[in-house]
Amino acid sequence: MASIELRNIRKSFGAVNVIKGVDLEVRKGEFMVFVGPSGCGKSTLLRLISGLEDITSGEMLFDGKVVNALTPSKRGIAMVFQSYALYPHMTVYENMAFGLKLEKGHSKEAIRQRVEKAADMLQIRQYLDRLPKQLSGGQRQRVAIGRAITRDPKVFLFDEPLSNLDAALRVATRIEIAKLHEGMHDVTMIYVTHDQVEAMTLADRICVLRDGLVEQVGTPMELYEKPDSIFVAGFIGSPKMNFLTGEKAAAFNCTTLGIRGEHMLVKPDGIWEGEVIHTENLGADTYVYLEMGQEEPIVVRLEGAMQHPSGSKLRVSPMEDRIHRFDEAGKPIR
């Protein structure tokens, strides 16, 4: 239930500047995802918001009030860690109740009710008496989320909560987090991930970070359709956007031409010709890798299962209205 505003936030560890001046607004009840390659400072930014790290300079506002000097608990945040960070010697119940017990002023009965309510939401009620080591990875992560819910925070922070789970569990937990957000739509959530699929599926808005700076903030579709730079264009979307340079780009009056694999058509009179070097058949789609004399092979995404033997030639055309044109500085030409 809090809006968060970052004004020219900087963070340095010794001589290393990790966050180099971030301005950002997270709206009330919004699900904001920080995404970026490793080392871009996304986790550090989250820790600055949480209060676990001190801000070197700049202002952090929660609901218009400066919180730079407030401790995490005073800020009203709850955090879910990548490694779960459950207290190993406490049962699930004690883990979830710990924060409330420290807050004082809650009766035992009130604590029990809140813990049980959170446990019901996450379907972990039957595990309340167990120790963390008796739980599976997915269950532990749910307990960690439950511990955060119990405290009824204004801001919910997730630090790569799914990266320790296996693929199937990751999808299931992702859906649960999405449902959780729907059920708690007045709670602001900030979620850090390096996985752009998580970012696309969960976010109301995504903040793409690069090298300590905000590259672009927008809804998933805005980032997908109107990336503000080559970096964002290449980072959002799977498979990665194809970039063509040289003559092929010059034909469209740009330095770099970006086109997504799903926005290319195989046609006998296609304007580009390439040699098939590899085919990935995913059942629903087929990715065909074409050698076109570019730095990297060009990926074409085709619907359904297709067979294009390696070594054969293929002609493709980009969908004209789906072309992204970039200038020398990597900025879009619109």
Partner 1 sequence: MGTTFDLWKFTKSAAFYALVLFIVVVSVFPFYYAILTSLKSGTDLFRVTYWPTSLSFDNFRQVFTQGAFPRNLLNSVFVATVTVILALFLAVTASFALSRVRFRGRGLLLMTILAVSMFPQIAVLAGLFEVIRFLGIYNTPWALIFAYTIFTLPFTVWVLTTFMRDLPVEIEEAAIVDGATPWVIITQVFMPLMWPALVTTGLLAFIAAWNEFLFALTFTVSNETRTVPVAIALLSGGSQYEIPWGIIMAASVVVTVPLVALVLVFQRKIVSGLTAGGVKG
Residue type present at position 306: M
Among 66, 102, 175, 197, binds partner 1 (CB under 8 A): 102
Nearer of residues 75 and 308 to partner 1, judged by Cβ: 75
Contacts of partner 1 in 37-66 (CB under 8 A): 50, 52
Closest residue by Cα to residue 117 from 128, 107, 106? 128
For 9, 30, 81, 108, the CA distances from 206, given in Å and listed in that order, are 18, 10, 20, 40
Query: DSSP string spanning 89-146?
Result: TS-HHHHHHHHHHHH-S--HHHHHHHHHHHHHHTT-GGGTTS-GGGS-HHHHHHHHHH
What is the CB-side half-sphere exposure of residue 245 using CA atoms within 13 A?
8
User: Mask: binding to partner 1, 128-157, rule CB under 8 A, as x and -?
Assistant: ---xxxxx-x--x------x---x------
Shortest reach from residue 307's CB to partner 1, in Å: 42
> To which residue do tokens 């608990």 refer?
73
Residue with smaller CB distance to partner 1, 193 or 286 = 193
Which stretch in 23-31, 37-45, 127-135, 265-273 sits in contact with partner 1 by CB under 8 A?
A: 127-135
Q: How far is CA 322 from CA 164, 174, 258, 328, in A?
A: 36, 30, 9, 20
**Dist CA 156 CA 187 (whole Å):** 7
| Amino acid letter for position 175 | I
Closer to partner 1 by Cβ: residue 102 or 221: 102
Query: Which amino acid appears at position 190 of this protein?
Result: I
Q: List binders of partner 1 among 61-90 (CB under 8 A).
A: 71-73, 77-79, 81-89
Q: Give least dist CB 159 to partner 1, A.
A: 9
Could you tell me the smallest distance in angstroms from the CB atom of residue 125 to partner 1? 19
185 near partner 1 (CB under 8 A): no
For partner 1, the closer CB: 134 or 219: 134
Residue 311 interacting with partner 1 (CB under 8 A): no
- For partner 1, give the closer residue by CB, 19 or 78: 78
Paired tokens of 83? 């490694």
- Using CB under 8 A as the criterion, which residues of the chain lie in contact with partner 1 when the complex forms? 50, 52, 71-73, 77-79, 81-89, 98-99, 102-103, 131-135, 137, 140, 147, 151, 164
